[in-house]
Amino acid sequence: MATIATMLSSSLAGQPFYSFSNPTSSFSFKTITVTRPRPRTRTRTSFTWLNPQPRGVLVEATPPSSPPSPSVLDGSIKVLALPENRADDIQAEARALARAANASVYSPELLASKYGSQPIKVVGRALQVLTAVGLFGLKLLVDQKSGVLDQNKRIRAIELRDTFTRLGPTFVKLGQGLSTRPDICPPEYLEELSELQDGLPTFPDEQAFECIERELGLSIDSIFSSISPRAVAAASLGQVYKGQLKYSGKVVAVKVQRPDIEEAIGLDFYLIRGLGFLINKYVNFITSDVVALVDEFARRVFQELNYVQEGQNARRFKKLYADKENIFVPDVFWDYTSVKVLTMEWVDGVKLSEQEAMERQGLKVLDLVNAGIQCSLRQLLEYGYFHADPHPGNLLATPEGKLAFLDFGMMSETPEEARYAIIGHVVHLVNRDYEAMARDYYDLDFLSRDVDVSPIVPALRNFFDDALNYTVSELNFKTLVDGLGNVLYQYPFNVPAYYALILRSLTVLEGLALYADPNFKVLAASYPYFAKRLLTDPNPYLRDALIELLFKDGKFRWNRLENLLTQGRKDRDFSAKEALQPVLKVLLSADGEDLRNLVIKEAARVSEAFTLSTMSETYRYIPHFVRTLVFNGNGNGPFMMSETELQNMIELRDQVLRIWGLLQSSHDFDPAILLPILQVLEQPEARKLGGRVVSGITQRLAARFLQQILRVPSTASE
């Protein structure tokens, strides 16, 4: 928001602009007037950090009669001229933001003040909700008394899903939110609630068209050359119409908010929050703070009611992720967008769940699912900004074979520390380091620091030891998530929303893929991204994770490196040049002495393997009588080592050669990628390391040849 105001005040000098207070952000703007040396006044925008405010301020500045040059402001401040269409877009967005200046935000205090004085309305809705929820709770109590609580979990989960659907939009949203919370709901409930649909009836079309005209201040005929007479889709918070803009001929989707939805949702959250206090006090098996969860979820739903905010979410998502050729995000038409009306580019396509329709268009489900997985991983682990409503209906396959994302009302962010901790967690899982895995839950905000993780370690070991007996390509992601969910449910975990939502997203994508290919595994599709990030990301946390993965018990695990390179090359963004840099920097850093010692030992071992395995293969071509003369009368072989030891050396040499071949075959391979290494080797620390490596190799080979020279010749009896 601040960026937009700054751009308007600097780059669009002389144009109308708006200063506003965004109720969903932690700052507000104030407008001041400054008199310059020239006889002219300008409106400048400054901002003061405040707590979120439920109201906004709108100020319009009057432009001067003759606008200044687009490159010079008042003869002193240089600005850059924006492309005309971009400038128009920014101004249109500013006008939309002005229309959203008074958008409501969630405030428990305001809801308590409002509905505390309306007891009849509160009691009426409370009776409706309590009757439905109470009947469900009574069934659970009877099941518990009868000892069949576990046996009836599936039945009760289905009944809860139906109950939420009958209670309306708030509870539909609540059920979808609970479907991402393994720390609150058992697996059976998670599965049923994840199927909860926004199957609500449409509201009258006349009310929708009246809302459009009221919100935009224009008649329907002046905006659209045509618009569908009935809604083409309906959800819990609004419904969608298909129209064609009059001024440009663009085909658009127009989402219109349900009448009085804010009132209904506000009342429901007021009641649910009160129920949360009772659950916190009397229900012991739920360890999370239910009131805090309700508040967080309510904030997200109220943000979803602000369609201008949704438009901004879509624009940010498009900027971050639509750079890939297989991802599509529709544009927003700001002049026809307000708090209750959102106009976006119409997307022709079919839902990923409609496999037969996709096949008729010649589209492959697995290609689009893979695109969705890669985009989800980038959302979670690269930029941290991600789609928080992962639902099959929000993903469309376009006729061009692109994956289109829709509905950006609910978005979330992954903290930067957590992005790296997740990758480190995967490394600990691969290494079966369950103690480190348990400690990771501190960094992931699953557990508070005062919780003892030692009882959790056996539970992780029991589950993952069985799960990891499968290869990456065999391991089912949903089984892994369900098993981990059982562990989380049994201990005092508080799963952050970002983590739960992205797990659900990947589970949904895997479920869609399984219809097309029963052998598809989302983990196998995800692994190239993890491998690429480990090999190329210079972040210190990930460099340490890579070293932890490659070195164990003082030995370098070449098979792990080969596997990482094999998988990493499958990612289209993998760069061989980048893969050589992070570990090299650690190797030559001030605190890299331990790693340097390991590298010296490994370099000597590899050099020995290359030398002796090559000599051994050459030896085979030497005539037998020459062998007995040259090699101390021994015709059986030149080295004092077992056949197994020699075979291990040959395998090591071949593995190193395969790794070099993988680097050479990378699409961006160029001998010039070695230049940074040569430059680094000019550093004093690198020269010392090189000398130590050469010394280690020389000593090892000298010891091996001295052993050969001094050995006792073999006798016939031997």
Residue 123, C-beta contacts closer than 8 angstroms, at least 6 positions apart: none
* CA 682, chain centre distance (Å): 40
CB atoms within 10 A of CB 165: 17
CA-closest candidate to residue 161, choices 181, 178, 182: 178
Residues 6+ apart with CB under 8 A from 28: 21, 22, 47, 48, 50, 53, 56, 57
Rounded to 5 degrees, φ, ψ at 75 are 75, 5
Residue matched to tokens 């598809």: 520
Segment 681-687 long-range contacts (CB within 8 Å, at least 24 positions apart): 683/588, 685/588, 686/588
CA–CA dist 375, 502 (Å, integer) = 11
Both tokens of 169, joined, read 């939009």
Give the Cα separation of 200 and 610 in Å (integer).
70
Q: Do 69 and 45 form a contact (C-beta atoms < 8 A)?
A: no
| Contacting residues for 654 by C-beta, under 8 A, at least 6 apart | none
H helix count then E strand count, the chain: 29, 19
Angle, CA 26 vertex, CA 23 and CA 27 arms, to 5°: 85
Are 192 and 157 a contacting pair, CB within 8 Å? yes
How far, rounded to the nearest angstrom, does the alpha carbon of residue 445 sit from its chain's CA centroid?
A: 16
What's the DSSP call for residue 194? T
Q: Which residues are catalytic?
A: 389
Range 540-569 burial, b when 16+ CB lie within 10 A, else e: eebbebbbbbbbeeeebebebbebbbebbb
Q: What residue type is assigned to position 117 of the chain?
A: S
534 within 8 A of 564, measured Cβ to Cβ: yes
